[in-house]
Amino acid sequence: MPAEFFLASIWLIPLFPLAGAAAMLLVGRRLSNKAVSWVGVGSVGLAALFAFGAIVQLMARAPAQRLVEIVLFDWVPAGVMHTMSGRVLNFNAPWGMLLDPLSAVMIGVVTGVGFLIHVYSVGYMAHEGGYYRFFGYMNLFMFSMLVLVLANNLLLLFVGWEGVGLCSYLLIGFYFLRKSASDAGKKAFVVNRIGDAGFILGLFLLLDTIGTLRFTEVGPAIEAGGFAVGNGVMTAIALLLFVGATGKSAQIPLYVWLPDAMEGPTPVSALIHAATMVTAGVYMITRMNLVFQLAPIALGAVATIGAVTAIYAASMGLVQNDIKRVLAYSTVSQLGYMFLALGVGAFTAGIFHLMIHAFFKALLFLGSGSVIHALSGEQDVRKMGALAKKIPTTTMTFLVATIAISGIPPLAGFVSKDAILAASFNARPLLWGIGFVTAGMTAFYMFRLVFLTFYGESRVPHDVEHHIHESPRSMTWPLIILALLSVVGGWIGWPESLGGSDHFARFLDPVIARHAQAIAAVPEAAQHATEYELMAVSVAVALVGIFLAWIFYLRRPAVPGTLAEKSGGLYRLLYNKYYIDQVYDAMFVNRAKDLGTTLGAFDLGVIDGLGVDGAGWVARISSSLSIVWDEWIVDGLVNLAARIVWIFSYPVRMIQSGRVSNYALLIVLGVLVFLGYYLRVTGVTLHNVLH
C-alpha cells in the first residue's frame, strides 16, 4: 500500500455507500434480507474504514500540512461570467473532495455513528417491509452527507445539502401508507427548500463578490478583497447562508419540520435527524467562518436565533408525551446551543458539541428505538414505566446519554456544553443566561423521560407487558459503543483550565480564521477563574433540574398533573407547541393555496376567458355583425338597386301578361299610336291618305 493511500482515496469514501444504494435500489428486491444487510452495512463499513484511515494519515502530517484536495472532474463548467467588480472569469465548479481537520471530524462522525446506526438497523428493521428500500435510502443518505462534508466548493456542498434533504424526505415518508408520514416528508422537503432559496442566493452573492466558490480560494480571495469587518456584502452573504442553515438545522423560524420528521423509522431519526444531517448548517457556517467573522451582525443573528431556539424548543420538550418527540425538541434545542457557539465566534466549540451531541443523541434515539421495539411499537411515555429491570442494557446506556446531555462531569456533554457556555458568557452574557436556564430545563425533561420510561410504576398494558424483551445484540452493541463514546468522547477536548490540553480546538485551529476584531481577547487567567465559576453553576442548575424531575415523576407523581391544571393556559400552549403549525398553516400554507386557487380562477376566467375566449367571442360577434352588414348594407344596396328597378318596372311588368290576345291588342294599339303620330307629324291626314 502506498504511503498516504487513504488520503489519496478520499474521493472513494462517498462512492461506497453510493454503490450500495445503487445496488439496493436497482436489484434489492430480488436479494435476500441477509444480502441486503451485508451490502448496506458493508458499504458504510468500507466508507468508515477509508474515512478513519484518512483521518489517521491526516493527523500524522504536520498541522500546517493537513489539507488534501482531490479534483475528479469538471462538474459545472458554466463558462465566462462577470463579478460585481467587473472582473471576468471562467466559472467552473469541480467535483472535488477536500479533507482538512474540519471535514475530518465530520467524516469521522458521519461514518462512525452512521456505521453503528446501520448495524443497529439490521436488528430494528428486520421485520419491516421494504427492508432493501430502507437500506437503499440510508446508503444514499450516507453518500449525500459525505459529499456535503467532503465537497471542496460551495456548489458541491449544495449537492450534498439537497441530497440529504431528499433522503430525509424519502425516509420520513418511509411508511408511505400513513398519510401523516408522507405529509411530514413533504413538509420537511418544502420547508428545507425555503432555507435553500436563501442558501443559493447567498452562494450567488458570494460568487459574484469574490469570484470563487472553492473553499481553498475563498480565504485568499477575501483577504485580497480587503473586506473590512462589518462589510455590507459579507453581512448579506452570511445572513443568506444562515437562512439556509436554519432550514437544514431546524432553527427558528424553520424548525417546524423536525418534530414531524419523527414519523420516520427510529434509526432514521438517530442518523439523520439527530447525529448528522441536521448538523449540516453548523458545519456549513463553520466552513464559511471567514465570511461570518467579517459580519458581526450576522454572527449576532446566529447567536440570538441559536439561544432563543434552544430555550424555546426545550420549553416544548418539557411536556411532550411521545418519547421521540421529546428527543426531537431536545435536538432542536441542542442545535440551538451549537448556533449560539458559532454566533459568539466559538466555532470549535460548536463543532465539538456537534460531535458529542452526535454520540449521545444517536444513543438516545437508538435507545428509544430499543424501548419502542420492546413495547411492540408504543411511543407514549404514559404507557411505559419500570422498564429498567426488563431491558437493562437499554436502560443503562440511555441513562449514560441522559447524564451526558444534562452536562454532568466528567461525561462528554459536560465538556462540550461548558465550552459553549463559557464562550457565550464572555461575548454575550444575556445569551449565556438563556443557555444556562436551558441547561436546567434540559436536565429536567431528559430525566423526566428516563423516570417515566424506565422507573416508577409500570403503566404498560398487560397484553404488551409479557412481550417485553431486550433487543438483539446487533442493536445493543451500538448502544454500548455509543455510551462509551458519550463518556470518553469529550476527553479529547478537555479544557486547559481543568488540566487538559484542548486537543480538539488545536486540531481544528487551521480551519478557523482568527479575526482580531471579531473575538475580543480575554486574559487567560481571568478566563480560567470565570470558567470554574461557570462550570460550577451550570452543573448546579443541571442537578436542580434532575432533582425536580425526581420529585415530580418519582416521589410525587401527582404533582405534574395538578401543576398542569393550575397553569392551564401555559401548559396547553406548550403542549400544543405554541400553535406554530396552525399559525404557519393559516399565514402561509393556506394563503399560498388560496392564491393558487384565485390565480387558477383568474387564469380560467380572465386570461383565458376574457382574453382568449373573449377574443374568440369578439371575432364571432364581429363576424355576425359583418354578416348583418354584408346582408343588409353591402348586399342590401345591390338588392336595393334591383328593388328600385323592380318597382319602377311595375307598369311595364303589367303589360307582360303572357296572353296572346293582349299582345295582339297592344300591337294593334301600338300600330295605331305610331300611325297617328306619324300622320300628325308629317301632316298627312287620314283624309289625305284615303284620297
Partner 1 sequence: MNQTHILSWILFTPVIGAIVLLFIPRERDNLHRVIGNVFGMLGLVVSLPLIWRFQIGTPGYQFRESYDWIPSIGAHYSLGIDGISFLLIMLTTILGAISILSSWSAIQTRKKEYYILFLLLQTGMLGVFMALDFFLFYLFWEVMLVPMYFLIGVWGSDRRLYAAIKFFLYTLAGSVLMLLAILALYYRAHELAGAAAAYTFDIPTLLGAVPQFSTTLQRILFWGFFFAFAIKVPMFPFHTWLPDAHTEAPTAGSVILAGVLLKMGTYGFIRFSLPLLPTDAVARQHIINILMVLSIVGIIYGALVCMMQKDMKKLIAYSSVSHLGFCTLGIFALNPHGVSGSVIQQINHGISTGALFLIVGVLYERRHTRLISEYGGLSTPMPNFAAIYMIATLSSLGLPLLNGFIGEFTILSGVFQVSLRWTAWAVVGIVLGAAYLLWLYQRVMFGPVTNPANEHLPDLNLREYATLVPLMLLAFWIGIYPKPLFRVLDVSVRQIVEQVNPGYYNSATAQRYGEKPPVAAPSEAARSERNGGESDSTKAAKRVTPNPSAMIASSAPLAANTAASAAEKR
Q: Restricting to residues 125-164, which ones interact with partner 1 according to CB under 8 A?
A: 155, 158-159, 162-163
Q: How far is the CB of 456 from partner 1 (least distance, A)?
A: 38
Residue 308 grid cell: 432563543
CB closer to partner 1 out of 101 and 165:
165
Decide: is 75 part of the binding site for partner 1 (CB under 8 A): yes
Decide: is 82 part of the binding site for partner 1 (CB under 8 A): yes
The residues near 229 (Cβ < 8 Å, ≥ 6 apart) are 293, 294, 295, 296, 515, 517, 518
CB atoms within 10 A of CB 606: 12
For the chain, what's the residue count? 691
Q: How far is the CB of 629 from partner 1 (least distance, A)?
A: 23
Residue 46 grid cell: 468500507
| List 105, 107, 138, 205, residue binding partner 1 (CB under 8 A) | 205
CB atoms within 10 A of CB 240: 20
Q: How far is the CB of 478 from partner 1 (least distance, A)?
A: 30
CB closer to partner 1 out of 225 and 456:
225
DSSP conformational letter for 74: E
Decide: is 226 part of the binding site for partner 1 (CB under 8 A): yes
Stretch that binds partner 1, among 360-368, 437-445, 522-530, 605-613 (CB under 8 A): 605-613
82-91, long-range: CB < 8 A, 24+ apart: 83/207, 83/208, 83/209, 83/210, 83/211, 84/208, 84/209, 84/233, 85/209, 87/211, 89/211, 91/207
Decide: is 678 part of the binding site for partner 1 (CB under 8 A): no
Residues 349-378 that bind partner 1 (CB under 8 A): none
| List 80, 516, 654, 655, residue binding partner 1 (CB under 8 A) | 80
- Among 468, 439, 511, smallest CA distance to 374 is for 468
CB closer to partner 1 out of 237 and 282:
237
Q: How far is the CB of 207 from partner 1 (least distance, A)?
A: 7
| List 103, 121, 209, 246, residue binding partner 1 (CB under 8 A) | 209
Q: How far is the CB of 24 from partner 1 (least distance, A)?
A: 12
Residues linked to residue 380 through DSSP beta bridges, in sequence order? 322
Q: How far is the CB of 185 from partner 1 (least distance, A)?
A: 8
CB closer to partner 1 out of 29 and 503:
29
Q: How far is the CB of 378 from partner 1 (least distance, A)?
A: 23
Residues 564-603 that bind partner 1 (CB under 8 A): 592-593, 595-597, 599-600, 603
* Cα gap 342→354, rounded to integer Å: 11
Region of 98 on the Ramachandran plot (φ > 0 left; ψ -120 to 50 alpha; else beta): beta
Stretch that binds partner 1, among 54-62, 97-105, 214-222, 305-313 (CB under 8 A): 214-222
Residues 647-666 that bind partner 1 (CB under 8 A): none
CB closer to partner 1 out of 84 and 526:
84
Decide: is 516 part of the binding site for partner 1 (CB under 8 A): no
CB closer to partner 1 out of 547 and 602:
602
| List 392, 429, 611, 676, residue binding partner 1 (CB under 8 A) | 611
Q: Is the dihedral of CA 85, 88, 91, 96 positive or negative?
A: negative
CB closer to partner 1 out of 588 and 629:
588
Decide: is 605 part of the binding site for partner 1 (CB under 8 A): no
CB closer to partner 1 out of 162 and 502:
162
Residues 231-250 that bind partner 1 (CB under 8 A): 232-233
Decide: is 559 part of the binding site for partner 1 (CB under 8 A): no
Decide: is 211 part of the binding site for partner 1 (CB under 8 A): yes
* Cα gap 674→285, rounded to integer Å: 123
Residues linked to residue 80 through DSSP beta bridges, in sequence order? 90
The C-alpha torsion from 299 through 303 and 305 to 306, rounded to 10°, is: 130
Q: What angle do CA 426, 430, 431 make, to 5 degrees?
A: 80
State the burial class of residue 191 (Cβ atoms within 10 Å of its Cβ: 0-12, 13-18, 19+).
Answer: buried
Q: How far is the CB of 251 from partner 1 (least distance, A)?
A: 18
Residue 576 grid cell: 400544543
Residues 163-202 that bind partner 1 (CB under 8 A): 163, 166, 169, 173, 176-179, 182-183, 186, 189-190, 193-194, 196-197, 200-201
State the burial class of residue 379 (Cβ atoms within 10 Å of its Cβ: 0-12, 13-18, 19+).
Answer: middle
Counting residues that bind partner 1 (by CB under 8 A) gives: 74
Q: How far is the CB of 282 from partner 1 (least distance, A)?
A: 21
Residues 15-74 that bind partner 1 (CB under 8 A): 25, 29, 73-74
Residues 412-431 that bind partner 1 (CB under 8 A): none
Q: How far is the CB of 613 from partner 1 (least distance, A)?
A: 9
CB closer to partner 1 out of 63 and 611:
611
* Cα gap 92→214, rounded to integer Å: 10
DSSP per-residue codes, 393-447: HHHHHHHHHHHHHHT-TTSHHHHHHHHHHHHHHHH-HHHHHHHHHHHHHHHHHHH
State the burial class of residue 440 (Cβ atoms within 10 Å of its Cβ: 0-12, 13-18, 19+).
Answer: buried
The residues near 286 (Cβ < 8 Å, ≥ 6 apart) are 102, 342, 347, 350, 351, 511, 512
CB closer to partner 1 out of 175 and 575:
175
| List 89, 563, 587, 672, residue binding partner 1 (CB under 8 A) | 89
